[in-house]
Amino acid sequence: MSFFKNKTKVLILILTIILAALMAVSTLPSKNAGFISNAFGYVITPVQNALERVIDATEGFFKYFIDMKNLERKNGDLKEEISALNSSLREMTDLKNENEQLRSLLGLKQRNSDKQYIAAEVSARNFNNWYCVLTLDKGTDDGVAVNDVVLTNDGVVGYVYEIGTNWAKVTGIIDSTSSAAAIAKRTGDKSVVEGDINLMQNGQCKMPYIPKESGILQGDEVYTSGGGGVYPEGLYIGTVEEIVNSADGMSKEAVIKTGASPYDVKCVFILKR
């Protein structure tokens, strides 16, 4: 066994010497390539080409890997930028909506300069199947009193039923316990507008006890009539969306969509009595 091992070592040594000699010869200056150089080139060239292909493939792989990492980083940066832009857009939209509400409230105040108003913001909402209650950020320190009416440029919101030094709770006009004397402007039909547990979730209330022969129609506007209660005359409540017959068939009932939605309103005016 040792003989074969020694023989293999000798063979490897001889081949190494031959290759070294061939490489040395191939580097000598010569006008024409000799047999040895040609033979060496014939053997080495395919090996060199194969090595170059392996190197190119390896470089391509690592370049692809690096490019993917760069794309992932750029994609992450773009996502963060888009998120920031969306946040800014939401803030701008909120500011725009608030500005429009404030302009509407200012217009309402200017049209009714003979009345005293207190501007307020909705700080909390308490809605369920029975109640529609808003909390405002103004109270007795600001001159607010119980039974003051709350409204926007779009119509009546409700009235103050409980108060503190810097807060006031408002019963919405769609609340199931609420009622207001009302009139259909076009036809002159007088009745009351009441909250209804089946309608309030849709921002609606009802106007029952309308004479059966009345010509009230969908789209007619309804206002407060001032006939007792807390609401003065002439405040817009909403628009008739549907006319139905009463349960006993003796009268009509109108479903009213309120102009000011308690679910969405942010800025309001408190009308001093």
Q: What is the pLDDT of residues 199-229, one digit of tens each?
A: 998 999 999 999 999 999 999 999 999 977 8
| Cα first-last separation, the chain | 120
Buried b (16+ CB within 10 A) or exposed e, 199-219: bbeebbbbbbebeeebebeee
Q: What is the pLDDT of residues 171-210, one digit of tens each?
A: 999 999 999 999 999 999 999 999 999 999 899 999 999 9
Q: What is the pLDDT of residues 118-141, one digit of tens each?
A: 989 999 999 887 889 999 999 999
Strand-pair partners of 271: 117, 149
Q: How many domains does the chain have?
A: 1
Q: What is the percentage of the chain residues whose pLDDT exceeds 90?
A: 45
Q: Which of 207, 177, 203 shows the shortest CA–CA distance to 189?
A: 207
Residue 42 in domain: no
Residue 220 in domain: yes
Query: Does residue 3 carry a pLDDT above 50?
Result: no
Residue 111 is predicted with a pLDDT of: 56
Q: Which domain holds residue 148?
A: 119-273
Compute the C-alpha angle 103/108/110, nearest 5°.
95
The H or E element that residue 83 is part of is: helix 35-111
Residue 87 is predicted with a pLDDT of: 65
Q: Which of 83-87, 211-215, 229-233 has the highest mean pLDDT?
A: 211-215
The model's confidence at residue 238, banded by pLDDT at 50, 70 and 90, is very high
Residue 256 in domain: yes
Residue 141 in domain: yes
Residue 71 in domain: no
Residue 183 in domain: yes
Residue 207 in domain: yes
The model's confidence at residue 242, banded by pLDDT at 50, 70 and 90, is very high
Tell me how far apart the alpha carbons of residues 160 and 269 are, in angstroms, rounded to a whole number.
12
Query: Does residue 2 carry a pLDDT above 60?
Result: no
Buried b (16+ CB within 10 A) or exposed e, 185-196: eeeebebbbbbb
The CATH number that applies at residue 243 is 2.40.10.340
Tell me how far apart the alpha carbons of residues 157 and 120 are, in angstroms, rounded to a whole number.
13
Query: Which pTM value belongs to this model?
Result: 0.62
Query: Does residue 251 carry a pLDDT above 80?
Result: yes
Q: Which of 242, 247, 267, 268 shows the shortest CA–CA distance to 257?
A: 242
Give the alpha-carbon dihedral of 260, 264, 270, 273, to 10 degrees: 40
Residue 125: CB partners within 8 Å, gap ≥ 6?
Answer: 133, 134, 135, 262, 263
DSSP state of 64: H
What is the residue-averaged pLDDT of the chain? 79
Residue 221 in domain: yes
DSSP state of 187: T
